[in-house]
Structure 1
Amino acid sequence: MPIFHGTNTTNHQYKSTDAPPSEFLASHKDDRINGSIEDTIAFIMKLIGSNTDLTTRRFRVFGEYEAVLFYYTNLVNHTNINVDILKALMYKPDHLSKKTIEKHQLKDILLNDTLYQSETKLENKAALLVDGIMRGGTVVAVEGIDEAFVIGTRTIESRSIDQPATEQVIRGPREGFVELLGTNISLIRYRLPSADLRIDSMEIGQRTKSKVAICYMDGITNPELVKDVNSRLSKIHIDGILDSGYLEQFIEDNHFSPFPQVQYTERPDKIVANLLEGRVAILVDGSPLALVVPTVFNQFYQTVEDYTERYLLMSAIRLARLVALMFSLIFPSLYVAIISFNPELIPTEFAVAVAGGRAGVPYPAIIEVLIIETSMEVLREATIRLPQQVGGALSIVGVLVIGQAAVAAGFASPITVVTIALTTIGSFATPAYNAALALRLLRFPLIIMAGLFGLYGIMIGLILIANHLLSLRSFGVPYLSPLVPGNFEGMKDLIIRGPLPWLKKRPHFLQTIDRTRFAEQQPQPSPSGREPELLKPLKTDDNGE
């Protein structure tokens, strides 16, 4: 007895095989249902019938036609199924209660007069029916109809929208992305209610079939950038995408660079700001972190608060972050180089104190710094992985007790402990965790270079890092833009943040279609303190008109 009819094969006879369900489904991806609910049940049970959370419910449409519905119990809204699907299909609509429904009219009446669900479509490919069930939909097959109804009934419990844990702000929105893609898209549309916002989607992952959304602004974003993003994503072939970090590693330009070439964030306002600049955002269903491309280095030491507070204050704080960034990179190596090769650079009084502190340490400065630096990294990792209640206590114990005990035992000098502590604090000042991690890793080769060659070694290391940064690109954009290649308009928001009225143009390196952020002329207050002409009240005559 034929079960399905397909485009390339006909009269497929169902046989129990040892092939995995996914391979069986792939071999029958073009097969279509033939109107027999028994054959449809046989195919679906072959694939997912062994799961205890799969519900198969037989019933009669309008009390006459045999039908069956399938859904996963824990993925659907049972009230919708009971009221809007089962009840609606089992009883005729009031305006058709006295009419006879012929078999050839049934499909059109069910779709247009009976079902109350807005997310309803007809499918005849068996593989798409299975995919609909796996995604939380409900499939209804009716005897004699060669198409089944796929109804959107997915309901997933998720955590509430809360303040982002990784990007804290004093002044700014308190909303963060969650794991559900639909919720994340709604947060973006809430902040950007523009007809120019475009959201494309695709599925990546042969087994997980993770839904990926590509967001950009039509009329602003360079179409070549959108095409490049879609091209790179479409070339990803992997079993599963469990987080946006998987995509980041596939689409970045240089896989061997310690520096991140893709920015991630869990803040909707940050995504909207980047979309308005002409970038592309990538969201993955199941991940609370969205990706932003292309990315340049200066984005990693900027925060949302840089633009919500006045520019003088935030420019000073941004400078402090830059100092902390350089501090965390070169301070330990600079200490090693001066102690080992150039002690004459230390003032005499301070040199005496340093020599006294190092008097009992049995090994060179480079070994001492590497041991303390490695211990600090281990302590930091342990603090992150432990439960929150224990992690805070461990960090205090590690810094105070272990550090003091190491100095008292002659294991390390006080100046070394202070140097590593200041370096660690400096790395915490870098807002982006992945950028701070790159600097933490680069500290170790710089320390070794300083221990071998002194200040010359540090300079060689910094030149190599600068060369590497100059060679990096993110989706064709130079990584050090707008510094190299130089662009005056972009430098207004590089080291310091200029006043918002100065930032009239979008970043030049993004090659956006619309370069202008806002109109050139804005109503300005009069120097005398009087209101602008546009805000003056209309003159009245003697009658008050």
Structure 2
Amino acid sequence: MLDRLGQSGDLVVRDFLLFGRYEAALIFFSSLVNQEQIQEYILKPLMDRSAGHPGMPDKLADMSHYIWNVAVQVTQGTTEQDLSALPPAIVKGQLILLIEGSSEALMLDMRQIDIRSVEQPQTEQVIRGPREGYVEKLENNLSLLRYRLQSTDFRIEISPLGTRTQSRVALCYLDNLADPKLVAEVMRRISIIHTDGIIDAGYIEQFIEDQPLSPFPQVQSTERPDKTVASLLEGRVAILVDGSPFALIVPALFNQFFQTVDDYTERFIMGSLIRMIRLIALAFSLFFPALYVSVISFNPELMPTDFAVAISGGRAGVPFPAVLEVLIMEVSMEVLREATIRLPQMIGGALSIVGVLVIGEAAVSAGLASPITVVIVALTTIGSFATPAYNTAIALRMLRFPLVLLAGMFGLYGVMIGTILIINHLLFLESFGVPFMSPYIPGKWRDWKDTLVRAPLWWMRRRPSFLYTQDSTKLPDSVPGTYIDQILQEGGETGERFPTDHDPARGSRNQ
């Protein structure tokens, strides 16, 4: 059995006398367990030589049962007679107790791995909302979900994945809410994954998405437990992997990637305004360079005369055509952005600001770019930063380059052709059987309440229809939406005050 584990430096085989009578041994990896707890709760009671062991069996066949029920103080454990199953259990952090002459081995769960504490999410920061983010340990992440979703319908199914890593994958959903067909489809796609290692949740995303060649993601990733719980309450399914601080949410639609927690924690007027600004930034990041190239190269008559004269004066010394100029600046900006991400945080912040200023000013002074081009590229970059989902922002950055090339070859017609192709591709996509552009196409009025704008929470009384949930009601129609609605329904006045100690009509609270 030990031959399969090899000559590992952290492999410990501790021989001792069980109750001073039987030869026994503990086998474990010291890097996966807490040795102090082993000494206190396992070795100390098992090596006790005193006669105070009531009910100790005379037969070794019953010794494992006696040790588990009387001697050791461990929450999880089991017995195993198949010796071939012991090495994989030791690798996972199990402690194996072998007794000479006994056909059973006792496996005790003593796994303990040091992890970082729960911190604020780095990629999904909000102004108003929870500050908790996932960590790498699966148990901690599941506890964050249980803390926020204290429902008896909450189901967690854990299974190993990866022939060598045996990474634990947790499938989370609400039993009486999520569509059973959706849950079965997610389980089916996960079960057909046959690879030797799953290191992160991103590995599973690439195996289960509908269209791997599409630039748009069809699986949403998040490191926020509150966002995961909100998706579960809508009828979606979440996937978590041991060792990954991200959760996968399916199905994921186009509209989800431009929503943040701030949209719902703030009042609906502010949330709608912020969302519309975010969508405008989306249009900036995707179409602005292409429109600039097409107007400059093919349709300058569309610009006001004074503006056209100012632009041509700034481009007087530039030796490149507009399309090549924009492509050079865009590639330079992408290289700078990637370098900023990979550098240490303190250095990267300084480089992003100083680099843009220095490179932009130097390019204009050297005649490699016009001032208006630098402004266009800067606005485009800022617009891409406003996209909440990082993978969606990358997709928009990828599509920006073919749009610029089409604009440089065909002008506004090229921009129109590229836009039509992008829209047709979005209409073709699906995420676990749900159209990617839902609820826009096909659409229902009740699903449009959380799209371009965010309607008040008391208006969104039903869950999205395209998820086919078992229970579509979020807020019953008979329940008033707000305090004002309740007062009007009761026929009272809205100016009624709370009772105070000095209110003569109600009396004193101290009475």
TM-score normalized by the length of structure 1: 0.88
Q: Return the match for 1:233 from 186, 190, 201.
A: 190
Q: Kindly report which structure 2 residues correspond to 1:76-225, keeping only aligned pairs within 5 A, or say none.
A: 76-91=33-48, 96-97=53-54, 101-225=58-182
Task: Classify the secondary structure of the residue corresponding to 2:27.
Answer: strand
**Structure 1 contact 92–114 (Cα < 8 Å) conserved:** no
**1:20 corresponding residue in structure 2:** none
Q: Return the match for 1:259 from 192, 196, 216.
A: 216
The C-alpha deviation readout for 1:12-38, integer Å capped at 9, x for no partner, is: xxxxxxxxxxxxxxxxxxxxxxxxxxx
The C-alpha deviation readout for 1:164-212, integer Å capped at 9, x for no partner, is: 0000111000000000000000000000011000000111111100000
**Structure 1 contact 93–113 (Cα < 8 Å) conserved:** no
**Take 2:273 and 2:312, find their aligned partners in 1: how far apart are those partners?**
36
**1:526 corresponding residue in structure 2:** 487
Offset of 1:75 from its aligned partner? 1.0
Offset of 1:97 from its aligned partner? 5.0
Task: Classify the secondary structure of the residue corresponding to 1:264.
Answer: strand
Quick one: which amino acid aligns to residue 257 of structure 2? F
**1:315 corresponding residue in structure 2:** 272
Change in Cα spacing, 1:294 to 1:100, as seen in structure 2 (3 Å) is closer
Query: Which piece of structure 1 moves more, 242-251 or 396-405?
Result: 396-405
**1:336 corresponding residue in structure 2:** 293
Task: Classify the secondary structure of the residue corresponding to 1:502.
Answer: coil
Change in Cα spacing, 1:99 to 1:467, as seen in structure 2 (3 Å) is closer
Offset of 1:92 from its aligned partner? 6.4
Quick one: which amino acid aligns to residue 448 of structure 1? L
Offset of 1:91 from its aligned partner? 2.0
**2:22 corresponding residue in structure 1:** 65
Q: Kindly report which structure 2 residues correspond to 1:487-506, keeping only aligned pairs within 5 A, or say none.
A: 487-506=444-463
**1:437 corresponding residue in structure 2:** 394
Task: Classify the secondary structure of the residue corresponding to 1:66.
Answer: strand
**Structure 2 contact 119–133 (Cα < 8 Å) conserved:** yes
Task: Classify the secondary structure of the residue corresponding to 2:245.
Answer: coil
Offset of 1:108 from its aligned partner? 2.2
**1:8 corresponding residue in structure 2:** none
**Structure 1 contact 93–114 (Cα < 8 Å) conserved:** no
The C-alpha deviation readout for 1:438-492, integer Å capped at 9, x for no partner, is: 0000000000000000000000000000000000000000000000011111100
Residues 1:385 and 2:346 aligned together = no
**Structure 2 contact 161–197 (Cα < 8 Å) conserved:** yes
The C-alpha deviation readout for 1:25-59, integer Å capped at 9, x for no partner, is: xxxxxxxxxxxxxxxxxx22x11130011100011
**Structure 1 contact 203–211 (Cα < 8 Å) conserved:** yes
**Structure 1 contact 252–261 (Cα < 8 Å) conserved:** yes
**Take 1:77 and 1:516, find their aligned partners in 2: how far apart are those partners?**
47
**2:262 corresponding residue in structure 1:** 305
Query: Which piece of structure 1 moves more, 263-272 or 129-138?
Result: 129-138
Q: Return the match for 1:350 from 292, 295, 307.
A: 307
Residues 1:359 and 2:322 aligned together = no
Offset of 1:94 from its aligned partner? 7.1
The C-alpha deviation readout for 1:69-92, integer Å capped at 9, x for no partner, is: 111111111122111111121226
Change in Cα spacing, 1:98 to 1:173, as seen in structure 2 (3 Å) is closer
**Take 1:151 and 1:225, find their aligned partners in 2: how far apart are those partners?**
36
**Take 2:56 and 2:202, find their aligned partners in 1: how far apart are those partners?**
58
Q: CA RMSD in A?
A: 1.9
Offset of 1:274 from its aligned partner? 0.3
Residues 1:372 and 2:329 aligned together = yes
Quick one: which amino acid aligns to residue 452 of structure 1? M
Gaps of 5+ in 2: 500-504, 507-511
Offset of 1:93 from its aligned partner? 8.2
Identity among equivalent pairs (%)? 57
Offset of 1:416 from its aligned partner? 0.3
Quick one: which amino acid aligns to residue 199 of structure 1? I
Q: Return the match for 1:75 from 14, 32, 38.
A: 32
**Take 1:325 and 1:104, find their aligned partners in 2: how far apart are those partners?**
69
**Structure 1 contact 295–479 (Cα < 8 Å) conserved:** yes
**Take 1:48 and 1:441, find their aligned partners in 2: how far apart are those partners?**
47
**Structure 1 contact 369–416 (Cα < 8 Å) conserved:** yes
Task: Classify the secondary structure of the residue corresponding to 2:487.
Answer: coil
**Take 1:261 and 1:237, find their aligned partners in 2: how far apart are those partners?**
21
Query: Which piece of structure 1 moves more, 105-114 or 333-342?
Result: 105-114
Offset of 1:102 from its aligned partner? 3.4
Offset of 1:124 from its aligned partner? 1.8
The C-alpha deviation readout for 1:289-327, integer Å capped at 9, x for no partner, is: 100000000000000111111001110110010010011
Quick one: which amino acid aligns to residue 48 of structure 2? Y
Quick one: which amino acid aligns to residue 128 of structure 1? A
Offset of 1:529 from its aligned partner? 6.0
Equivalences, count: 494
Residues 1:294 and 2:255 aligned together = no
**Take 1:55 and 1:161, find their aligned partners in 2: how far apart are those partners?**
32
Residues 1:274 and 2:248 aligned together = no
Quick one: which amino acid aligns to residue 62 of structure 1? F
**Structure 1 contact 525–532 (Cα < 8 Å) conserved:** no
The C-alpha deviation readout for 1:407-455, integer Å capped at 9, x for no partner, is: 0110100000000000000000000000010000000000000000000
Quick one: which amino acid aligns to residue 116 of structure 2? R
Offset of 1:288 from its aligned partner? 0.1
Change in Cα spacing, 1:423 to 1:149, as seen in structure 2 (3 Å) is same
Q: Kindly report which structure 2 residues correspond to 1:16-31, keeping only aligned pairs within 5 A, or say none.
A: none
**Take 2:391 and 2:310, find their aligned partners in 1: how far apart are those partners?**
37
Offset of 1:120 from its aligned partner? 1.2
Offset of 1:532 from its aligned partner? 11
Quick one: which amino acid aligns to residue 526 of structure 1? I
Quick one: which amino acid aligns to residue 318 of structure 1? R
**1:479 corresponding residue in structure 2:** 436
Gaps of 5+ in 1: 1-42, 541-545
**Take 1:449 and 1:130, find their aligned partners in 2: how far apart are those partners?**
59
Change in Cα spacing, 1:98 to 1:145, as seen in structure 2 (3 Å) is closer
**Take 1:63 and 1:260, find their aligned partners in 2: how far apart are those partners?**
62
